[in-house]
Structure formats: C-alpha cells, structure tokens
Amino acid sequence: MKVIFSENGATSVEFAVIAVLLLTLIFGVIDFGLLFYNRQVLTNAAREGARRGVIIKIPRVTVTEIQNRVLYYCQDNLVTGGSNPGTALKQPIVSYGDMNANSVIDRGDILAVEAEYTYDFFVISYLGIGPKLLKAEVKMIME
C-alpha cells in the first residue's frame, strides 16, 4: 500500500507563520517610532514652558502659565491614538533653583521644568510590554 502525502496548503501555513512574525516586527517598529516621537514632543513641551518662564516680562509669568504652556503643547502634538493625553500626562513641575515658586525671582536664577507622560504602546502591548514612563527636564537661566 502506497501512502501519498499532499503538500496542498503548506505554503499557506508557512505564510501564516512568517506573516505573524513580520507584522509583529513592523508594528513594533511603528510603536517604538511613536515612543521616540512622543519623547521628543515631551522634551519640546518642557523647553517651551521653560522658555516662556525665563523671558523678561513684568510681572513675571506665573507657574500656572508655564504649566499650561507645557500641557497645551503636549495636547496639540502628542500621538495618543485618539485617547486624551491629559489622563497619561502628569502636571508639570516648575521650580526655581533652590527657591520655591513664591519667592522673589531674580535674573540669573535657574528655572527647571519637568514633564512626565505615560506612553502606552498601541499594538505590541498585547505581547505583555507595559506602559513606558517618559520624562523630560529642561533647565534655563532667568533673563
């Protein structure tokens, strides 16, 4: 008795195995690209807030105005997949060197703005990769 093995469908099975790996790789590259883009946006937002705080203006810009500038920049530019970035974006921290924000601020003092955002991967989160905390800190000298 002769046994005949059919090779019908072998190509489909091979394609299914390779396609899953290829799609995971492609979407992983896209997810990490968005992660790096959002990190750069967060850095730029902190820079925008710090720049707003160090410019010469009388009266000086308040801490709330600096924080709002950072938040508005993030809301306009972060790629979040349609979710509200306000839920993953922490309130920016603004500090003036060793002084608290209510002290008299003088020329030459250092203004530090720190922003944090929790980035959740779009596709590869299904592989068990959890959210990533992105941080940006910018320091500028008061004008």
**Residue-wise DSSP of 70-127:** HHHHHHHH---TTS-HHHHBPPPEEEETTB-TTSPP-TTPEEEEEEEEEE--SSGGGG
Q: Classify residue 73: in a domain, yes or no.
A: yes
Q: Which two tokens stand for residue 100?
A: 């608290």
Reported residue count of the chain is: 143
Q: Classify residue 1: in a domain, yes or no.
A: no
pTM: 0.80
Task: Tell me the CA distances in angstroms from 1 to 4, 6, one per residue in order.
Answer: 10, 16
Q: Which domain holds residue 51?
A: 10-141
The predicted structure's pLDDT at residue 1: 67
The predicted structure's pLDDT at residue 34: 92
d(CA 50, CA 45) in angstroms, rounded, equals 9
Q: Classify residue 5: in a domain, yes or no.
A: no
* Domain tally, the chain: 1
Per-residue pLDDT of 86-128, as tens digits, reads 667 888 888 876 555 455 567 778 889 999 998 888 888 778 8
Contacts of 25 (CB under 8 A, 6+ apart): none
The predicted structure's pLDDT at residue 138: 92
Q: Classify residue 3: in a domain, yes or no.
A: no
Lowest mean pLDDT among 51-55, 69-73, 89-93: 89-93
Q: Classify residue 4: in a domain, yes or no.
A: no
Q: Classify residue 2: in a domain, yes or no.
A: no
User: Which class for 94: exposed (0-12), middle (13-18), buried (19 or more C-beta within 10 A)?
Assistant: buried
Predicted confidence band at 59 (pLDDT cuts at 50, 70, 90)? confident
